[in-house]
Amino acid sequence: MADYNVIVIGAGPAGYVAAIRCAQLGMKTACVDKWVNQEGKASLGGTCLNVGCIPSKALLDSSHHYYFLQKQAATHGIQCKDLSIDVAAMQARKNEVVTTLTKGIAGLFQKNKVTSVEGTARLLGNKEIEITAFDGSKQALTAESIIIATGSVPANIPVAPIDNQFIVDSTGALAFDSVPKRLGVIGAGAIGLELGSVWSRLGSQVTILEALPNFLAVADRKIATAAQRELKKQGLEIYLDANVTSAKVENNEVTIAYQDKKGEQQLVVDKLIVAVGRKPHTDNLGAAEVGVQINERGFIQVDEYRQTSVRGIYAIGDVIGGPMLAHKGSEEGVMLAERLAGQKSEMSYETVPWVVYTHPEIAWVGKTEEQLKALGTEYKVGQFPFAASGRARAHGDTSGMIRILADAQTDRVLGVHIFGISASELIAEAVVAIEFESSAEDLARTIHAHPTLSEAMHEAALGVDGRMIHA
């Protein structure tokens, strides 16, 4: 008889959610995790909670408060003199947020009777895993089902080797003990833009080098163009089509060589962040050895219900590719847990929202205008600027817009794209609309409270048929 019905390897957003849901559905569940914090203590939550989503948002919030007081408070009649930055206090607050939430997951495990196992797991085959504890001791556990949720790690590039002092990855960029005077960032994806925004608002001169020719190539072009223009106004220098060829540390500074359309270029900075994406974390897992198929990029191969090539072994989250987003992994965990319990859960990847936490924020769900053109789909567009929103103007954040793309024949909402204040919250309404196959008319007929930012969604929906009231 197996020790557990389910063993989950990894306690990030995919793993811990899967473990909790499995336990809620009556399965005897264990979750194995090897993360240790700076104090050498076990810390649940994976990358997202410990050195990713949560700490970055804590610092983003701190940096926004400082930026507001320095640049915008005067317009509200608030006079601030002798402003200063205490980076140590910011970091302490960030760490407190992380600690509180990691303890919260431990509490949820206890509440739902999930057994938490500290250590590194390795697949042995025959539904057995070996766990090496922090003290080196080993134990073997068996389960009817094993869920791999080991997540991802920052991708590195040979031309910019990480030294964790002058050249850092995203983890290191969240732990600076002072504001760099000159900061370089390789990569203008979500991570690079968010980290660049943090330190720019705190006073860094930030230069971002992106190898691709288009800014935020995965986003709607009009949204991306507006965002790029606004970020430049805020002081972020973003160079596209810039391929880094070397990064060398000399005399306590980093000299970066890169090529663009003009030829060889050089940039000298005090710190360099390498933010070129993430790669699946399967090191020492033993997955390939037991027959689990892994593709050429290192991602575990699964079917539509997240089963690997080995019966009884499943995988979810970043380790299987697709959108490498915490909420995508969590929903995969719920879906898989419910299917293991005999339910018929499904998951739609068409309704996974994307968010870039700059200020203003960028968010979208569904198809972009460029994708619809490529598919040959006839569509209508409704676009409403936040400059025409009473609430946005009262708040003092009028940059950006909401764009709704709807099928020209059926009026079904196909995509919603937002650049503006609170985009990360506003996108939820769009997700619901697409999930329930709503029409733009459904959104247009839905009463939105006044004055709210959500009225911009209402107006954009009206705009699909050319009947906006306030623009």
Angle at which helix 87-111 crosses helix 13-24, to 10 degrees, equals 20
In which region does residue 470 sit, left (phi positive, over 0), alpha (psi from -120 to 50) or beta (all else)?
alpha
Beta-sheet pairing, 253-260 with 263-269: antiparallel
**Alpha carbon separation from 189 to 121, 210, 270, 432, 459 (Å, rounded):** 31, 8, 21, 26, 30
Tokens of 377: 């789909």
Per the document, the length of the chain is 471
The set of catalytic residues is: 450
Report the amino acid identity of residue 369. Answer: E
In which region does residue 298 sit, left (phi positive, over 0), alpha (psi from -120 to 50) or beta (all else)?
left
- SS3 string, 44-98, reads CCHHHHHHCHHHHHHHHHHHHHHHHHHHHHHHHCCCCCCCCCCHHHHHHHHHHHH
Tokens of 194: 């968010």
The whole-angstrom separation of Cα 157 and Cα 174 is: 19
C-alpha torsion 389→393→396→398, nearest 10: 40
CB 301 within 8 A of CB 287: no
Beta-sheet pairing, 313-315 with 138-148: parallel
Distance of CA 353 to the CA centre of its chain: 10
Tokens of 404: 């709704």
